Amino acid sequence: DAGVIQSPRHEVTEMGQEVTLRCKPISGHNSLFWYRQTMMRGLELLIYFNNNVPIDDSGMPEDRFSAKMPNASFSTLKIQPSEPRDSAVYFCASSLQGGAEPQHFGDGTRLSIL
């Protein structure tokens, strides 16, 4: 069974550039989550979707960040323009119905902004 698939696994780019992270959730899962992990703040939720609709984006740090889920099998997290402080590991996760149900995480995208 395929798990949550994220791409790319690593991204190194210069500040000011646009960065797009991609996620394919587990088939049949209705909820999708984007997290960011840093040393300072740990694992923090950025945004989550239920049935492709954004439910809570209060964790999105600022307007430079945007996320979309055009269909049930694909989501993107975009940073434009990127800044060095955006450097982190970004995880995508999905679950069957959201709520307290255990989430299945992808292996993350390690993002470095120079």
Partner 1 sequence: DQQVKQNSPSLSVQEGRISILNCDYTNSMFDYFLWYKKYPAEGPTFLISISSIKDKNEDGRFTVFLNKSAKHLSLHIVPSQPGDSAVYFCAAFSREGAQKLVFGQGTRLTINP
Q: Which of 44, 83, 84, 97 is in the footprint of partner 1 by CB under 8 A?
A: 44
- Is residue 28 a contact point for partner 1 (CB under 8 A)? no
Q: Does 8 bind partner 1 (CB under 8 A)?
A: no
48 belongs to the binding site for partner 1 (CB under 8 A): yes
Interface residue with partner 1 among 23, 103, 111, 113 (CB under 8 A) is: 103
Give whichever of 18 and 101 is closer to partner 1, judged by the CB atom: 101
Judge contact between 105 and 37, C-beta under 8 A: no
In our burial notation (b when 16+ CB lie closer than 10 A, e otherwise), range 7-27 reads eeeebeeeeeeebebbbbbbe
Strand partners, 13: 113
